[in-house]
Structure 1
C-alpha cells in the first residue's frame, strides 16, 4: 500500500469511530435536563447551538463531535478525490459538500423532530386540559400529561419533563414557556406558551384557550392529511396511465385494427 491508501484507511477508521459516538450522543434526549439551553445563553455564529438544541441534542457536549465529523469527512473526501485525480473544482466541491453534510443532517433531524412533536400535540393538550380541570398545578399537569399521553422516546416528553422541572424549581413561568418555544422551534408550542402566559398574567383559566388551540391543531392536521392524500393521488395518476394505456391499446385498438385490416383485405380481393 502507498501512503495515500494508509491515509484513506486511517481517516475512514476515524470517521467510523466519530460517527459511532455521534450516534450515541444523538439518542440521549433524556439527558437534556442536564443542559437546559435557553435564549439567554450567548449564541456563537460558527457553532449552531440553537439548531443543535432543536434537534434534541445537548449543546455543551456536542461541539467536539460536530467539528470532528465535519473536518474528518471533508479530509477523507478531498484525499480520495486527489487520489482519483479529479479536477480541482471537483475536489473543492467535494470538500465543501462533505463539510456541510453534518449541518444538512441536523436540519433533517430537526425537521423530523418537529414533525413528531406536532403529531403528539393534540392528544397532549387534551390531556393537559383534563389534568388542569382536575385541580393539579401547572407543573404537575405537564408532567402527568407527558407521562400518560406520550411515549418515553417522544421528543415532546423530554421537553415537557424539562419545563416541569423548571417550574418546580421556581423559575419564572413566562421565561420558562418562552424557553420551551425556543428550544423546540415549533410554532404550535409557541402558541401554547402564549396562551398559558396570557392566562398567568390576567389570572384567568387557560382551559378554553387550550381547547381552541387543540381544535385548531386537529383541523390543521386534517387539512395536511387531505392535502397529502390528494398529492399522492396526483402522483399515482401518471404511473397508472402508463400501465393502463398499453393494456387499453391491446384490448381495444388492436382487435379493431385487426378487423379493419381483414375488411380491407376482403375488399381488395373483391375489387
Structure 2
C-alpha cells in the first residue's frame, strides 16, 4: 500500500493533479491497441462453426447469392454491435447520410464509427504526449490540463462527422450544377429513339468526366434497372440518395409520365427548360450577392488609406502647431 502511495505521489508531482488518471488512460489505450489485433486474428470458435454448419439459415450460400449479398468485411462482423447503432432508425439515417456523401459500401457505417473511435484515441494520445513530454516544463491547472488532453480527442472524434457533412453539401452542389446538362443530354437520347434505360446508361457514361457524382447516381439507377428492380422504386431511391429537390421533382415527373402514358420526351423537354431557367436564376442571384459580399472588404482596403491621405497632412500640421505654441 505504501508503494502505491509513493507511485501516486510521484505521478502527481510530475504530471499534476490528474497524473494517475493520465497514466491509467495510457495503459488502457495500450491494452485496447493490443487486444483488437488479437481479437481480429484469433481463429473461429469450433463450436460456433459447428452450429453455423448445422443451422440451415446460416449454411453456405450459392456463389451467385454470395455475389449479390457480398461487399461486407467479415472481420468487422465481430464488432458489429460496437460499430453499428442498435437503433434501426438511427442506423437507416446514418446509412442515408453516408450514401448522400457518396459512400455506397455496405460497411460504410462501420468504417465511419471505426474512424471516429480511432481518431478519438489518436487525439487523446496526442494530448497526453503534449502534456507529459512536449509541455512537461509548464504548470497547468486541472481545467487547462483537461482541455489539452481531451480537446484533441474530441476534435478527432467529431472530425469524421464534420467531413461527412461537408462532403454531403459539396456533392449536392455538384449534382445541382450538372443536372440541367444531364437532362438536355437525356432529352437528345430519347428523341434519337433510345429508351429511358438506354439513355440513362449513355448519360452516365458521358457525364463521367465533368460530373462524376451525378454519373455515379445514374450508374446505380442503370444497374438496379438491369437487375430487375421496380423502375418507380429505383427512381425514388435516386431522389432520396441525391437529397436535391430538383432531382426529386424530376423523379416525380418521370413516374407521372409513365403512369398517365404521356410522352417522356415532352416531359423531359419541359422540365429541362425549367432547369435551365433555374440555373440562370441561380447565377443571377450569385451575381447580385457579390456586391454585398465585397462591400466590407472594399471598405477595409480603401477607407484606411483614404483617411491617411486626406486626414494625415492636416493632423500633422495641427500637431506641429501645438508643438510650436507649447514652445
State the TM-score, normalized to the length of structure 2.
0.60
Q: Tell me whether 1:183 sits opposite 2:241 in the alignment.
A: yes
Residue deviations 1:48-70 (CA, integer Å, cap 9, x gap): 11111111112313244222211
Tell me the equivalent position of 1:237.
295
1:119 to 157, 165, 177: 177
Asked if the contact 1:49/1:59 (under 8 Å) is kept, the reply is: no
> Offset of 1:210 from its aligned partner?
2.3
Greater displacement, 52-61 / 204-213: 204-213
CA distance in 2, matches of 1:133, 1:190: 23
Greater RCO, CA 8 A, separation 6+: 1
Tell me the equivalent position of 1:28.
none
Tell me the equivalent position of 1:162.
220
| CA 248–193 in structure 1, closer or farther in 2 if over 3 Å, else same | same
Asked if the contact 1:132/1:141 (under 8 Å) is kept, the reply is: yes
Q: Any unmatched runs of 5+ in structure 1?
A: 12-33, 36-41
1:129 to 173, 187, 190: 187
1:50-69 mapped onto 2 (5 Å cutoff): 50-69=96-115
CA distance in 2, matches of 1:96, 1:243: 38
Greater displacement, 213-222 / 168-177: 213-222
Q: Tell me whether 1:45 sits opposite 2:90 in the alignment.
A: yes
Q: Tell me whether 1:70 sits opposite 2:70 in the alignment.
A: no
CA distance in 2, matches of 1:109, 1:232: 25
Asked if the contact 2:174/2:211 (under 8 Å) is kept, the reply is: no
Residues paired across the two proteins, number: 235
CA distance in 2, matches of 1:46, 1:130: 40
Residue deviations 1:31-76 (CA, integer Å, cap 9, x gap): xxx87xxxxxx95525711111111112313244222211111122
Secondary structure of the residue that 1:171 maps to in structure 2? coil
Tell me the equivalent position of 1:193.
251
Q: Any unmatched runs of 5+ in structure 2?
A: 1-22, 34-69, 72-86, 132-139
Asked if the contact 1:139/1:164 (under 8 Å) is kept, the reply is: yes
Tell me the equivalent position of 2:53.
none
CA distance in 2, matches of 1:57, 1:146: 18
CA distance in 1, matches of 2:302, 2:286: 24
> Offset of 1:257 from its aligned partner?
7.4
CA distance in 2, matches of 1:238, 1:251: 20
Max Rg structure: 2
2:286 to 219, 223, 228: 228
> Offset of 1:158 from its aligned partner?
1.4
CA distance in 1, matches of 2:208, 2:108: 26
Asked if the contact 2:200/2:222 (under 8 Å) is kept, the reply is: yes
1:188-267 mapped onto 2 (5 Å cutoff): 188-253=246-311
| CA 241–124 in structure 1, closer or farther in 2 if over 3 Å, else same | same
| CA 105–261 in structure 1, closer or farther in 2 if over 3 Å, else same | closer
Greater displacement, 49-58 / 75-84: 75-84
Residue deviations 1:79-117 (CA, integer Å, cap 9, x gap): 443452663763556544432221111111111111111
State the TM-score, normalized to the length of structure 1.
0.71
